[in-house]
Structure 1
Amino acid sequence: MEITRRCLLSALSAAGLLAVVPTGRADAAAAAEGRARLLANTVAVLAGTADSNARPETAAKLAAVERTARANLKAMDGAGEGELFAGLPLGTDDANLNTAYRRLYEIALATRTPGIPADLHGSTAVRRRVVDGLTWLHERYYGDQSTGYYGNWFHWEIGISQHVSKTLVLLADEVRAHRPELVRTYVDSMDAYLRNGTDGDVDLDSRFHTGANLADITTNRVLQGALLGEGGEARIRKALTDQLTVFLTIDPYRLRHGVTDGYYADGSFLQHASVAYTGSYGKGLLTRVVQTLKILEGTGFAHGEELVPTVYGWVKDGFAPLIFEGWMMEVVKGRAVARPDSGYTDVGVVVEAVVDLASLAAGDRATALKSYVKHIRATSRTALDPARFVSPVSVVRYADILGDASVPPADLNPAERSVAFNAMDKTVHRRPGYAFALARSSERISKYEYMNGENLMPWFQGDGAYYLYLSGQDQTQAYGVDYYTTIPPYGLAGVTAPVEQRRSVTELYGKAYYDNPGHPLNFTSSSASQNKYVYFPRGTNGHSGGAVLGTYGTAAMVQSSDAAHHDRALLPDDFVVYRNATATKSWFLLDDEIVVLAAGVGDTVGRAVTTTVDARTAAPDDRTSLTGTLRDGRAWTGPGTADLRWLRYANATQGTAIGYVFLDTPQVRVALDRVTRSRRAVRTANPDTPVTRSVLGVTVDGAAGARPARLAYALVPNATEERLRAHRHGPLTVLANSPRLQAMSHSGIGLTAANTFTRGTHDTAGLRIEGPASVIVRRQGRHDKARTTVAVSDPTMNRDRITVLLRGRRLRELAADSGVRVSRAPGGTRIDVDTRHAYGRSFTVTLSG
């Protein structure tokens, strides 16, 4: 169904937005002026201006542009038969064709970038070489629709169109003077290659035209409309109207066009229908829409300032919780976790978008964004490189923000925060000194993403894998691609896995995907079946969620096999499926501890299983140490298997430490090894670079055929030995740990939390809970000043109501969220919470008495 103007107005108003695309046709003069301004804005964004490029801060950026252009021109000079650039054969490799177009863009960029030497900037000869290159590529390798569109659909519908459109914008005058037909020729071809669309245009019902992909496609079409001249404004307005759909908050109960990709009310972001992707596709969407807002300024085609509050919300609630001391957390990067670019590089992309958004914002929002830029600069262990920004203008804006003494550094989040990104099955918990990130999965959200030979061993990344970021350390030594390279995929921190050896897709099938087009499920490179069973399979249990009460949180998950194992009878005989181990898990997120409970840990077919309490990496020469105490009080003497009460791992070089308190855990195996492995083990395109790390593994082993086990332990960030010894006398108490109910209390903060996993009544520590549910109760003060706060959420996402009984004296309601009702009941105070269509949101109530 086409999204109408009236429908769009209504939808945007519901999200607190105004429609931004004016209706009606502008007169010819105004339309021409708008197109010219749009083209000029785009050139300024890409190439900078004379003023921006005269600033010393842009020198490194300009040098990079010049260096790249000269290298590309040299490669053109050395090209052989079937090549536009030496070493880049064309005709069968779509990635090479995409790269060829990118290199033409990079040369064109140098010819329009003020401040670059005159043999490039303004050079008619160089510009004509680019135009000739565009013509040559179209005639031989792009224009014939019958021989194109092989390989990755992205290159044909987005990547090549992006490079071509920007190149044509940069060289618009040259093309208009010498090859005026080239724009129409390319636009017709780009429309024809939009094969997942309708009649050469966007199809909002297509699974390919969503989220970041839709933003890319529509931005390309905006530029094409400006290039087409008279009549192009209709294309521009249609593209902008399509792009506006990415600004709409996804309502999972009222999907538009069946699309689940985009931002959710809790700050979650999904791409590929079910992959948590803020740190890759999400940052791409952020970048693209901010760039679009910049190129639209003063054109009359849109009033982008109306969209700034929405994008500000993405940054504040979607990105900021996931960025710790300048590092993008692994749990929202999909297959990009296997790429060599670091989390610091990811955040650099976000920073450029925030810098430009600040220039579009006003008042307190602008100040908050600038302060956040300074905060990232102040806390990151790696200096951000502005030369990697897209725009020289952004480099100058960044420098101006850093130099503005009136802007104090400030995070967009409080130092203490617990965030349940339940719409994407992720949890983030932050305190001064550390951040904890948890990757869950379910029948709604993918366990992992593998694609295109990237993230080759991903099988357990969504099975409760967690990442504990310690303040002050260089995160490239602790996480990033080298974590996945040197840590076994079965031994990621937090994971319970069967003891077995799995093979990657490339090992199993000899290519980057499973190919069986003759099967009824039609397995081809980008088919729906490939997505469901190979690229990003979901789990098969619906229980994954948690509650937040103030700055505290809880999360819960029932581990399951993925969709392929569940549907193995439907799949081809040569399609390999894997069965998962079993476990029911809870995480309780406090101030100084993260408490982990696991029950039903085992395997339905009797395999041995291993649960990893933690896995940490360090530089091989870092000064690390291990100390601990056995349960009988004796000192622990070194690596091996032992009945531990607590363990402490310290890295004196990084100035960090982490402790482990074993509350109710079988014997623990501790290993500290030196591991060397190639980065190519996790991504086929990675350089064959050997990486050496010192690797800590803290694991609990379960023997083959053993009865299901239970574990209870606490992670204690930045722990001293004294703090760890003190846990012998509290304040943590495990109240229940079974596949039905997991609960704990912390006497120091007066907090009790419980996750119930089955239907019926569950009793623990003065609580009666109608499950399944996640509940946190905190009692503060005494006598007439006593306050009890309660948070309740539905971790299954499908309950209409949850009832909790607080046993004891009856309490009086002071404040409650909408949908919460408090009443007297025999034996205590009853709380009824309407959770219908809440999608895991927490409901809170404050009581007195």
Structure 2
Amino acid sequence: MNPGTTRRTVLATAAALGAAVALPLSLSAGTAHASAGDAAALRGRWHTLLTGGPGLDLADERIAAAVARIGRAATTAAKGLDPTATGGLFPDLTSTTLSNHVTTSFKRLATIATAWAVPGTPQYGDTALRDLLLGGIDWMLTNRYGPGHTRFDNDWDWEIGSALALSDATVLLYDTLGTERLTRITTAVLHYTPDPNLWRADRQIATGANRVWISTVVAVNAVLRDDGDALARVRDALSDVEGSGANSVLAFNDASAAAAGTGEGFYSDGSFLQHYKHPYTGGYGKELLNNLSRLLNLLAGTEWTVTDPDLDNVRVWVDEGFDPLLARGDVLASVCGREIARPSKQGHASAQTVIEAVLRLIPGFPGETAERFTALVKQWIAEDTYRDFLAVTDLASLVAARQVIGSAVPARGPLVAHKQHPRMDKAAHHRPSFALGISAYSTRIYNYESIQNENLHGWHLSDGMVLLHTDDLGHYSEDYWPTVDPTRLPGTTVLAGRPADAAGQRTTSTADWAGGAALPGTTLGAYGMELRAYGSSLRALKSWFCLDDVIACVGSGITADAGTAETVVENRKLRDPAAALLVNGTAAPSGAGWSAQLDKVRWLHLAGTGGYVFPETVTLKGLREDRTATWREINLKYGTDTPVTRPYLTLWQDHGTAPAGADYFWLQAPAASAERTRLWSAAPPVKLVARTTAVHAVRRCADGLLAANFWAAGAAQELTADGPASVLVRPEGKTVTVSLSDPTQLRSAVTVELAGRFTLASADPGVSVVPVTNGIRITADTAGRFGSTLNLTLKRS
């Protein structure tokens, strides 16, 4: 028996979640080839995705504006198009060593073909333009793409990028192609991308987003060739039927057969990894969701409908994976991989892709999920006042978005949550006035990705980087990544100096401790990492205790054999170049070029950003500068050579040369007023309890909450631990809630003792308690929990 047979039987009998999508087809079971009418209907679905479909209301201002955008884009794309040229179809895309020139050529043809196919554009139905497009396709097939040509550079361009763009253009121009040209096109695509399970020249197993991309190419090509068997293989490839589910893109990687795969894809905690160990929700993850939503739309209601029960996991992807990583239209950069170094991914472009994908998913998840997704999309669109989604999205998504916005379902409201993703060493903290992301790495996760000559200065993206999102929604747009000082990213502890381009990329730490604990239903969390810097002897223990509107930042054990160690308090691109910086209430100079040593600092306030309280006075260094750079400096592949200049304010603590056991402690108060910051300086809302190489701990004054990260066995006042652990203890009247985890993800059990008289009220499975002389001993079974938090509630006796 084929090893996939049993799984296939299960899939065939499951509920078809995608059946509610429009244009359902009724096809006889076992048909290898759809009828001409069925194939035309499938092409029609894809055509609708590309053009918005028939019956567009051109009198609608939003529709008219979108149609005009398509026309303008086509005009730009058509510049220089010359099917009679010898060096290249476009004068700026002539390389025979850079494969993205091939993909970009096809993308331009698809852009022009879209305008030709959309009523209302200047190009609509233009016969001369049609002939130019056909000539362009012929030129590419003759000179660059197909069985007679040798691939070069990046496999992605040949098997995915070029294939998708050419297939889109083919659907748009289908009725004008003729049989011979159509056969030539589909044969060329099939040459590079014949199997939805495999890719690359050496036919590796396709995983994660690459598997969905490949499947999409095969599916559209199958529709064009009227090949039902190929569509069946696409459906099964999503579940990896041939591999017994090991590389299913629908199953969680930490569950069932998928645990035997490469680890690329989604996890049950909402994490997403690609390229083995890179956090990539905002890069490959969004592309997986995007293309899967298009495939589900194409196949819904047909013989090839995706019926895998694991398709239901998509709900978790959206709720636990994407939602916590979006901050008012921006995706946290710590999960976007090398895409942060691409000019085209600025300005909330990645979030646009996520929104478009969820819009496509809504019809396929009827009922409560559809309502929740509708509320979510409404919120995402409304809260991004930096970039108007309706003014930039494609026509099909615009039509769907207008329907969602006009529905009776209310918007979800701002996200207020603390979410940790243990499987990718990241945390996100959302409050009504700000969001904050923390980026770590460990033995389990790579530090950053720099391949294809991209993201050349990502050295410290996971060295404790803290990205603060305020009402300055364009902060991480408008050329932030090429202009920010990459050696002083906010929150990081580093050795001064500039590594070589791409130094240390794709490296895991030698430390296991990265993660934390979160109190469910609150915005209370403890997070931390043991930093062992790449390429140096720098070591540090770093904690962030996220206590609603205050983040307590604690560091200890900062040690290096040589070099000057620094911890960066802030590095902010200034919306207002003259934004006021108050130091203990006194304004610092606001002009570019200011630098100073700031002695006996008790509090700082930066207008438009928030406050910083130093319960122990500290010496800091400050710098205002206009930083000039080009995108080419961080991305040789897609960067431009145009210099851009942006104003920055940087504040850091200098730990000196070759420090031995240096430390730090401050309270970050995002979005706080200067007056609130001053008051908190006089009476800090959080006090330091412990800052050693065994434990970091703080206590919130208002309610006595104790938060602790244990690096080893130790004690923090009434709380002790037998080894590495992250613990929150929150008293509420006559009850105490305890949340704890094993951030090393290596321990079979974590044991802590809490002084006092308690009885157990409730506990998660795997948590047990026994009384001891001075209190209660709590033992949590952490084996196989992968850093997730376990909780219990105690009653005071």
Report the secondary structure of 1:301's partner residue.
Answer: coil
Deviations 1:5-51 (A, max 9, x none): 4236769999x998999999524685655433221111111122221
Q: Is the 8 A contact 1:79 1:85 kept in 2?
A: no
Tell me: CA distance 1:723–1:322, structure 2 relative to 1, closer, same or farther (3 Å). Answer: same
Q: Which moved more, 1:681-690 or 1:268-277?
A: 681-690
Of the three residues 285, 289, 292, the one matched with 1:289 is: 292
Q: Which residue of 1 aligns with 2:362?
A: 358
Of the three residues 702, 726, 730, the one matched with 2:679 is: 726
Q: Is the 8 A contact 2:754 2:777 kept in 1?
A: yes
Q: Which moved more, 1:152-161 or 1:683-692?
A: 683-692
CA distance in 2, matches of 1:589, 1:165: 48
1:527-676 aligned within 5 A: 535-550=505-520, 551=522, 552-562=524-534, 578-579=535-536, 581-603=538-560, 605-619=561-575, 621-629=576-584, 640-651=596-607, 656-664=608-616, 666-676=618-628
Report the secondary structure of 2:723's partner residue.
Answer: strand
CA distance in 1, matches of 2:200, 2:485: 45
Report the secondary structure of 2:603's partner residue.
Answer: strand
Q: Which moved more, 1:273-282 or 1:483-492?
A: 483-492
User: Offset at 1:95?
Assistant: 1.6
Residue 205 (structure 2) pairs with residue 239 (structure 1): no
Of the three residues 482, 488, 491, the one matched with 2:488 is: 491
Report the secondary structure of 2:452's partner residue.
Answer: coil
Of the three residues 75, 90, 96, the one matched with 1:91 is: 96
Of the three residues 38, 47, 51, the one matched with 2:55 is: 51
CA distance in 2, matches of 1:440, 1:683: 23
Q: Is the 8 A contact 2:145 2:188 kept in 1?
A: no
Code of the residue aligned with 1:595 in structure 2: it is A
Residue 767 (structure 2) pairs with residue 820 (structure 1): yes
CA distance in 1, matches of 2:142, 2:623: 61
User: Offset at 1:711?
Assistant: 0.8
User: Offset at 1:257?
Assistant: 5.0
Residue 693 (structure 2) pairs with residue 739 (structure 1): yes
CA distance in 2, matches of 1:93, 1:22: 44
Deviations 1:327-386 (A, max 9, x none): 222111111112223242222222222222223332232222222222223322313243
Q: Is the 8 A contact 2:215 2:237 kept in 1?
A: yes
Of the three residues 101, 116, 125, the one matched with 1:111 is: 116
Q: Which residue of 2 aligns with 1:708?
A: 661
Q: Is the 8 A contact 1:750 1:780 kept in 2?
A: no
Residue 351 (structure 2) pairs with residue 347 (structure 1): yes
Tell me: CA distance 1:90–1:687, structure 2 relative to 1, closer, same or farther (3 Å). Answer: closer
Tell me: CA distance 1:193–1:493, structure 2 relative to 1, closer, same or farther (3 Å). Answer: same
CA distance in 1, matches of 2:2, 2:694: 47
Q: Which moved more, 1:294-303 or 1:330-339?
A: 294-303
CA distance in 2, matches of 1:671, 1:13: 64
Q: Is the 8 A contact 1:739 1:757 kept in 2?
A: yes
CA distance in 1, matches of 2:336, 2:183: 42
- What is the number of residues matched between the two proteins? 772
Residue 639 (structure 2) pairs with residue 686 (structure 1): yes
Q: Is the 8 A contact 2:278 2:337 kept in 1?
A: yes
Residue 224 (structure 2) pairs with residue 227 (structure 1): yes
Code of the residue aligned with 1:237 in structure 2: it is A
Deviations 1:82-109 (A, max 9, x none): 2222332153332212222222222332
Report the secondary structure of 1:142's partner residue.
Answer: coil
Q: Which residue of 2 aligns with 1:790?
A: 738
Q: Structure 1: any 5+ residue segments left out of the alignment? A: 506-532, 563-577
CA distance in 1, matches of 2:129, 2:12: 46
User: Offset at 1:831?
Assistant: 1.0
User: Offset at 1:70?
Assistant: 4.0
Code of the residue aligned with 2:355 in structure 1: it is V
Deviations 1:95-145 (A, max 9, x none): 21222222222233233323335xx43455544543443333223322355
User: Offset at 1:774?
Assistant: 0.6
Tell me how large the CA RMSD over aligned residues is: 3.1
User: Offset at 1:789?
Assistant: 0.4
CA distance in 1, matches of 2:18, 2:45: 22
CA distance in 2, matches of 1:548, 1:737: 20
Q: Which residue of 2 aligns with 1:511?
A: none
Residue 451 (structure 2) pairs with residue 504 (structure 1): no
Report the secondary structure of 1:97's partner residue.
Answer: helix
CA distance in 1, matches of 2:574, 2:209: 35
Code of the residue aligned with 1:845 in structure 2: it is L
CA distance in 1, matches of 2:33, 2:329: 47
User: Offset at 1:393?
Assistant: 2.4
Report the secondary structure of 2:139's partner residue.
Answer: helix
CA distance in 1, matches of 2:609, 2:390: 32
Report the secondary structure of 2:649's partner residue.
Answer: strand
Of the three residues 27, 35, 41, the one matched with 2:39 is: 35
Tell me: CA distance 1:73–1:330, structure 2 relative to 1, closer, same or farther (3 Å). Answer: closer
Report the secondary structure of 1:91's partner residue.
Answer: coil
Q: Is the 8 A contact 2:196 2:233 kept in 1?
A: no
Q: Is the 8 A contact 2:81 2:136 kept in 1?
A: no
Tell me: CA distance 1:460–1:8, structure 2 relative to 1, closer, same or farther (3 Å). Answer: farther
Q: Is the 8 A contact 1:337 1:480 kept in 2?
A: no
1:455-494 aligned within 5 A: 455-470=455-470, 472-473=471-472, 475-476=473-474, 478-480=475-477, 482-494=479-491
Code of the residue aligned with 2:4 in structure 1: it is T
Q: Work out the percentage of aligned pairs sharing the same amino acid.
A: 30
Q: Which residue of 1 aligns with 2:244?
A: none
Of the three residues 300, 305, 311, the one matched with 1:302 is: 305
Q: Is the 8 A contact 1:801 1:834 kept in 2?
A: yes
